[in-house]
Structures are given as C-alpha cells and as structure tokens.
Structure 1
Amino acid sequence: MYPIMRMVKEMVKYRNAAPLPLTGTHVSEHRCWPSDIDLWMELNNGRTLTLFDLGRIPLARRIGLIETLRSNRWGMTMAGVSVRYRRRIRTFEKITMRSRAVYWDDKFVYLEQTMWKQNGECANQALYRAAITGSNGIVPPDTVMNALPVKAPRPLAPAWVMNWIEADATRPWPPEQD
C-alpha cells in the first residue's frame, strides 16, 4: 500500500521550508516501519523505491516544480531508475534521505537519491530519470526549467550519470522475447 499518510506528513512538515535552487538538496529523515520490511526483516527493495517518493515530491515543491506542473497542466513520471543497495536497513532504523536533481538533457531530468544510516554509511543510492509530460507527450526540460520561478543553467553531467545514460541507450526496447 502506498504510504499516503507519510507523504501528507512530509508535505506538511516541509510546507514552509525555504525554497531550494534547482540543484539544491532536500534532506529528510525517515524510519523503517514494520510495514516496510520483507521476509528477511529489512527494508524491502521495492518499498525503498516507494519511500524515495517521500524525498522527491517535497524536493519538487521546494524548487517550485509542483506549482509549475499545476499551472501548466503537466505531470511528472519516472522513466527509469538504477539502484544500488549496499547496507541493510532494519525495522525501526532511522535513515536520512538526500534528494537532488543532478542533470537534465533534452528529454529527461536526472535525480539522485540516497539513504544514509545513522552511523554515516550510505545504505542505498538511486538515479532516476524523470519525464515531465503534457498533452502532447514529453515536455522538454529546458521548457520546464524556463517556467520555474528559479532559474539556473544546465549543470554538467557527472561522468557516472552520462555512463548510465549511454549504457541505457543501448538497451533494446521493446525487450526481446524468449
């Protein structure tokens, strides 16, 4: 089940938070609840992706994207993700999530999200590819960035992000069938 109440809590908690620059980092704290765990008594890998929403949506609000989406009747969808799971997060463990936009090209916005344990270890990291959509399909990120209240030049893509973009472009779509 989607953590609607947790999302409401995050949106209320950060409703008066200072605006962020386009590549600013939204930092939030969360806890792994019993409803988040799998059979091995740790944060479920799929639930990790859902919990990343709890950082991504407030980030979007703080950079002015939510209001821009509403006023232009646009939507946002995730168009891909690459995740590294490196440390277990156990029931009731508290984590710090860091969410930020790292790059955009002519089709997608790339977002990095990480979860950090209280001992300073990074538990996992996700690189998302997000698309802004309108009635005619994908809205070019430069159009979106120009509509935001805060302006910033396109950042240089980190090498690891470009490597992922290039590698993913070689992946067949639709997938081959057996």
Structure 2
Amino acid sequence: MYPFIRLAKTVAKSSYQAIKGKTITPTDTSQVEFICSINDIDNFLEMNNGRILTLFDLGRNDFAIRSGLGKKLLTNRWGLVVAGSTIQYRKRVRLLDRIRIDTHIAAIDERWFYIEQVMYCNENPASQALLRTGVTNLMSGKTIPTKPVLEALGYPDLTITPSPWVQAWIDADKLREFPQN
C-alpha cells in the first residue's frame, strides 16, 4: 500500500520548511529522513525494493516543494513524470534503521531533468537511483521543455552538465529497444 501518511507528513514538513525560509535552489540537495517501519519490510525482513523507490518519490516531493516547483505545478497545472530510471542496491535496510534520502538534479537537457537520489542507512550509502524526469502539462499530458520550467522558477540560464557516468546512462538508454506488440 502506498504510504499516504508519510506522504502527507512529508508534504506538510516540506511546506512548513519552505514557509520558514528553508528553501533550496535547483542546484541544492534536499534531504528527508525516515525510520524503516514494519510496513516497509518484505518476507526477508528488509526494506522492499519497491518501497525504496516509493520513498525516493517522497524525496523528490520534498525537493519540488522546497525549490518552489510545487507552487508552479499547481499554478500552471503541471505534473511530474518519471520516464526512466536505474537503481543500485548496496546495503540492506532493516526494521527500525534510520534512513536519509538525498535528492539533487544531476543534469538538465532540453527535455529532461536527471535526478540522482541516494538512500543512506545509518549514515552509510544503501542505494542510489538515477531518474529521467519531466514536467508535464496535465491537460495534454505532453512533456514541457525544461527551459519554460526553469524560467518559471527564476533560473532561465541554469545548465547542469551531466557527469561522465550520467552521460553514459543517457546515451545507453537511447540504444534500449522497447518491446513491440
């Protein structure tokens, strides 16, 4: 089940931080913290890999709210979409472990924002994800180019060049064959 209570708490905390001036810029890293609960673990008594991806969603929500994107989404009737991702799991997360999720923009091109997220378990890196994300028009469902989004945020000239591994993932993903009927 989706963690709606955690979502509500994250949105409330992020909104409160934004109101209190604890905003971030698109080049900053946001951080959210959780404790691994009984609802997060699987039959192997560790955090389920699907739950890790869901908690990364909450980290991106915090980033959006505190960077000002959340308000622009509501004002402009925009939405967020994940168009691709890759993840590595390196350390098990067990019941009652403290976790922190760091979220930042790793690169921007004409169409996509590439988001890197790292989950730390008891201060040690546990998993890392790279996501190709976009902003969409809720009415048409079409992806909006990054330039108007950055302009709306007040950063019209912002560029973030991908690191070599991020660029390699972008290039490799273009070669991927999507299944056909």
TM-score w.r.t. structure 2 length?
0.91
User: How far, CA to CA, are the matches of 2:88 and 2:157 in structure 1?
Assistant: 29
| 1:120-144 per-position Cα deviation (integer Å, ceiling 9, x unaligned) | 3200000011111112611001111
> Offset at 1:111?
0.5
What's 2:81 paired with? 77
Match of 2:126 in 1: 123
- Within-5 A mapping of 1:157-168: 157-168=162-173
- CA RMSD between the two structures: 1.4
Change (3 A) 1:152 1:123: farther
Please list every run of 5 or more consecutive structure 1 residues that lacks an aligned counterpart in the other structure. none
CA displacement at 1:152 relative to structure 2: 5.3
What amino acid is aligned across from residue 109 of structure 1 in structure 2? F
Distance 1:2 1:136, change over 3 A: closer
Amino acid at match of 2:79: G
Rounded to whole Å, the distance in 1 between the matches of 2:157 and 2:176 is: 31
The count of aligned residue pairs is 175
Equivalents in 1 of 2:135, 2:109: separation in Å? 12
Percent identity among equivalent residues?
38
Say whether residues 1:12 and 2:16 are aligned partners.
no
The alpha carbon displacement at 1:16 in A equals 2.9
Structure with the higher fraction of residues in helix conformation: 2
Q: Which residues of structure 2 form unaligned runs of 5+?
A: none
* 131, 141, 148: which one aligns with 1:143: 148
TM-score by length of 1: 0.93
AA in 2 matched with 1:110: Y
**Distance in 1 between the 2:136 and 2:56 partners?**
20
